[in-house]
Amino acid sequence: MNLFEKALGAQTRWSSFENLKAQRAGAALENNGAKGHAFDRLAAGETKTLLDVGGSGIVHRIWMTISDRSPEMLRSLRLDMTWDNAPNPAVSVPLGDFFGIGLGRKAPFECALFSDPEGRSFNSFVPMPFRTAARISVTNESGKDLSHLFYDINVSLDVRHSPETLYLHSHWRREAPNQLGKEFVVLPRLRGCGRFLGCNVGVMANPDYKETWWGEGEVKVWFGDDDKPTLCGTGTEDFIGTAWGQGVFAHRTQGCLVADSVQRQWAFYRYHVDDPIYFSDGCQVAIQTIGGSSKENVRELQKQGVPLIPISIDRSGSGAFVRLMDFPQPVDLRSAEIPDGWCNFWRQDDWSATAYFYLDAPGGVLPRIPPAAFRAAGLTTDGDPRMQAFAAAEDGGLGGHLSVHADTAEEPATVTRPVSAVG
């Protein structure tokens, strides 16, 4: 962006409760201009329109804060964005997840697209162009009134766009648990031309797998109707630029904002700002639901009947790598044919993700967001006897694989751990 040139005809507007229509000379009209309408109440079941403008333009920044930042509320507030009066919103996701961190958690961070300076607010700097209209709204699906909603949206109007300009879309999904032996789909297969901008992902590790590591899965990207992926990574922590485990860090385009070995929760992000992923005829993105531990540990889990599928053995010092999927299935780790070493295996955990992408169509093209009850269920582990047993026995876990989380959210609400999945 050129800081010293003005785009021809562009006009700056801020939409907030002080100027809901984002009109010229239409701000600060209440209470004689003295902070007359800085916030508003959002009742249970209510929808408030935050931006509603016509003509061409681009949303540059969204700032927001709310009085109740519990996990339940962060997942139950639905954020919708509709471009050019399309019949379906291009963005329809939980409010908390949209702003860069999942699982109903809050943490201070800054990256290229989102920030939260002190763990109490939401900032987006994702460019959102539109040609004929833009509407942004938030709906309270929590069943509880929200006493305070503050926001402002910074937008340029009368901006000229090239024919190649794309529309921002965002899609949220969850599997709780994932299907055994299947990848978790971050971005379902879609048609069209565009760019996959990236994702933030949340994992709640199943305590049935005890202290074993959940994050060995590779990220894959398919184009068009291809049966096989074109892009494939090497591991979960590798995808976000770190290695040999995953602690807390926040970098410009990659990071892990929650690495909580007590609650068994991890929330991380990767944005393809400098390494674009373009597609011309559609795209799908998924991550393998693979974990790992010593063969001895995995064998014990297998003996206990914990759902898993062994896939490989890394013998480390010997340099040998044994591909167990080439063996007759199912593989019994008690077999003398299976050497000792690090054992990777398919497992079942609670996965959720918010995908961001640009597309040449303004309207939503993917399934609508599931109900709030499913979105918010199980975000805390209070009352789960498996987690209580795990916490009592937990002695530090796997060293570098686990670390303390950075979290400044208010006292979380207690909800029931889910056992269902969404497609």
Let me know whether 194 and 303 are in one domain.
no
Tokens matching residue 361? 């169509």
pLDDT at residue 414 tops 90: no
Q: Is residue 155 part of a domain?
A: yes
Residue 202 structural domain: 11-289+348-401
Q: Is residue 390 part of a domain?
A: yes
Let me know whether 71 and 105 are in one domain.
yes
307, 328, 346 — which closes off a domain? 346
Q: What does the DSSP 8-state code read for residue 21? A: T
> Which segment of 200-214, 235-249, 266-280, 408-422 scores lowest on mean pLDDT?
408-422
Let me know whether 263 and 356 are in one domain.
yes
pLDDT at residue 216 tops 50: yes
Q: Is residue 4 part of a domain?
A: no
Q: What is the pLDDT of residues 138-164, one digit of tens each?
A: 999 999 999 999 999 999 999 999 999
Give me the mean pLDDT over the 54-81 stretch. Answer: 98
Q: Identify the pLDDT of residue 386.
A: 52
Q: What is the pLDDT of residues 16-26, one digit of tens each?
A: 999 999 999 99
Q: What is the dihedral of CA 308, 314, 316, 320, to 10 degrees?
A: 160
Q: Is residue 411 part of a domain?
A: no
Q: How many CA atoms lie less than 13 Å away from 7 in the CB half-sphere?
A: 14
Let me know whether 175 and 100 are in one domain.
yes
- Predicted structure pTM score: 0.90
Q: Identify the pLDDT of residue 2.
A: 79
Let me know whether 220 and 359 are in one domain.
yes
Work out the percent of the chain whose per-residue pLDDT is above 70. 90
Q: Identify the pLDDT of residue 194.
A: 98
Give me the mean pLDDT over the 117-141 stretch. Answer: 98
Q: Is residue 397 part of a domain?
A: yes
Please state the domain count of the chain: 2
Let me know whether 75 and 201 are in one domain.
yes
Let me know whether 211 and 325 are in one domain.
no
Let me know whether 203 and 321 are in one domain.
no
Q: Is residue 406 part of a domain?
A: no
321, 346, 371 — which closes off a domain? 346
Let me know whether 171 and 233 are in one domain.
yes
Tokens matching residue 279? 């597609």
Q: Is residue 5 part of a domain?
A: no
Let me know whether 202 and 279 are in one domain.
yes
> Which segment of 181-185, 247-251, 341-345, 387-391 scores lowest on mean pLDDT?
387-391
Residue 28, Cβ neighbours under 10 Å: how many?
15
Question: Mean of the per-residue pLDDT values for the chain?
Answer: 90
Q: Identify the pLDDT of residue 320.
A: 84
Let me know whether 278 and 303 are in one domain.
no
Give me the mean pLDDT over the 164-169 stretch. Answer: 98
Name the nearest CA neighbour of 267 among 282, 279, 281, 250.
Answer: 250
Kindly report the CATH number assigned to the domain that includes residue 203.
2.60.120.1390
Q: Which residues contact 304 (CB under 8 A, 6 or more apart)?
A: none
Give me the mean pLDDT over the 219-241 stretch. Answer: 97
Strand boundaries in 265-349, DSSP class E: 265-271, 277-279, 283-287, 290-294, 309-314, 321-323, 342-346
Strand partners, 64: 122, 151
Q: Is residue 212 part of a domain?
A: yes
Q: Which amino acid is at 69?
A: R
Let me know whether 63 and 172 are in one domain.
yes
